[in-house]
Structure 1
Amino acid sequence: MPTELPILNPTGPLMAQPTDALLDEASRRLQLELPPSYREFARRYGYGLTAGLFMIAVPVDTAGAEWSEDLVERSAELAQELAASVDGKYISYKPDGTEERVRRLVPFGASENGDILAWDPRERAPDGEYAVYVIGARKYGVSRVAEGFAEFLNKVLEPNTGGVLARATFTLEATFEPRAARS
C-alpha cells in the first residue's frame, strides 16, 4: 500500500491550507483521528480540485463565512445524503457495502460526478489510515477502493483511475487546482 502522497502540480497559488489547530479541532468534532496522509495532504495543498475530478474537503475557519467547504460541515451534509439514500432504499450496496457500513462511513470528499468519498472508522490500520470507500453517483454501488488516503490518491492517477471509479476508462492528471474554501 503506497503511504506517500503523490506529487500534484498546483495550477495556481495554494490557499485554504488548514493549520494543525484546525485539523485537531476537525478531528475532535468528527470524533475521528484524521489519517496522517490526509493531514499531510490538507497542510500541503489545502482545498481544491484534485486530479481534475475530486474535491477533498479540508478544515477551514468558518467565522464570518457565508458558505464554506469545511471538512466537518461537508462530511455532515454527505452523511445526511447517505442516510437518506439508505432510509429511502435507493442505494445499491454491492460490491462492498452494507446498511450498517454506509451509516457509519465518514465522508471527506466527492467527485465532480457525484461519487462520495468516505472513511470507515472501524477499518483503521496500525499506521492510522482508514479504508477508503467510494459510493457511486446516484448511490450506485459501495466499493472499498484503498487501504488509506495516500493509496487512494496514488490509485486515481493510474490508468482507468486505478479502478477507483467502476466504469472509468480515462487517466487523470496529477494536478491540483486551488480554490477558495469559504467566502
Structure 2
Amino acid sequence: MWQRVFTEFRPGLLSTEADLDRAEAELGFALPASYRAFARECGAGRIGGQLRIATPVPEPAVDLVTRAHVIAHSVAVAIDSLSENALTRDEPHRFTVEGDSDAALMERAAFFGETESGSFLFWDVTPGSAEYEIWALGADLETIHFGGADLLALVRGLQGAEILHILGGAEAPLPASFEGDDAEALARIGAEAVPAEGRA
C-alpha cells in the first residue's frame, strides 16, 4: 500500500511483528492498523525529507517507545518553564485546539512523529479504536491542528495544500518521497544523539 503513496520510495529498517508487539506492550495501547502497515512496509526514515515517523527499531534514538517518552517529557518541561518566565508565569498554559475536540485531548496524546520545523505529531489514543485521530502540536507548544483520521490521510494531506492547515506557517507540500534509514544509518543517528560526555 505505502509504495503507491510515494513516487520515490526507499524503505528503511523494517519493524517486525515482534517489534510492534513489544512497542504495544511498553506503551500500553494497541498501535493503529495504518501505522503498523507503515512500520512493516516503510520502516525507519523520513517522509518528504521533513517528517520522521518513529518506528519500533533497536536504535533508541529513533525507536517509537523512546521517542514517545522523550517528546512528551520535553513538551512538559518546556511548558513548565513558562511558569518561571516573568512574562508568562501569571498566565496558565492553554492549548488552542481547532474544532470542537474535548479539553482532555492532550491527556490522551501519544507522540509518534516530529518535523524538521519543530511540530510534533500525536495520536488521540481512544481505547477500542482500530485507528486514532492524528493531531499536530505546533512548535509554539500551543496550537493544535487536526492531521487526519489515520496515518495514510495525514501523509496524503501533507503532500497537498492541506499541509498549510495541518502544520501552519509557510510550509510547502511535502515531496511524495520516503527515504529509509538502514541499521548503519540508524546507528549513526544514535551516535550523534549521545552527548559528548557520554561518548568513549
In the alignment, the residues of structure 2 paired with residue 77 and residue 145 of structure 1 have an alpha-carbon distance, to the nearest angstrom, of: 21
Partner of 1:8: 6
Instruction: Check whether the contact 1:161–1:168 (CA below 8 A) recurs between aligned residues.
Output: no
User: Which residue, out of 95, 116, 122, partners 1:112?
Assistant: 116
Partner of 1:141: 143
The yes-or-no answer on 1:72 pairing with 2:72 is no
In the alignment, the residues of structure 2 paired with residue 70 and residue 177 of structure 1 have an alpha-carbon distance, to the nearest angstrom, of: 17
The yes-or-no answer on 1:130 pairing with 2:132 is yes
TM-score by length of 1: 0.82
| CA offsets 1:12-63 (integer angstroms, 9 cap, x no match) | 4x3211101101110111111100011111111111110221100000124x
Partner of 2:198: none
Max radius of gyration: which structure?
2
Percent identity, aligned pairs only, is: 27
TM-score by length of 2: 0.76
How many residues are paired up? 173
Higher strand share: 1
Instruction: Check whether the contact 1:92–1:141 (CA below 8 A) recurs between aligned residues.
Output: no
The yes-or-no answer on 1:28 pairing with 2:30 is no
In the alignment, the residues of structure 1 paired with residue 66 and residue 124 of structure 2 have an alpha-carbon distance, to the nearest angstrom, of: 18
Q: Which amino acid aligns with 1:181?
A: L
Instruction: Check whether the contact 2:12–2:179 (CA below 8 A) recurs between aligned residues.
Output: no
Q: Note the C-alpha offset of 1:99.
A: 6.7
Q: Note the C-alpha offset of 1:101.
A: 2.5
Partner of 1:41: 38
What is the SS of the residue equivalent to 2:133? strand
Unaligned ranges ≥5, structure 1: none
In the alignment, the residues of structure 2 paired with residue 166 and residue 118 of structure 1 have an alpha-carbon distance, to the nearest angstrom, of: 16
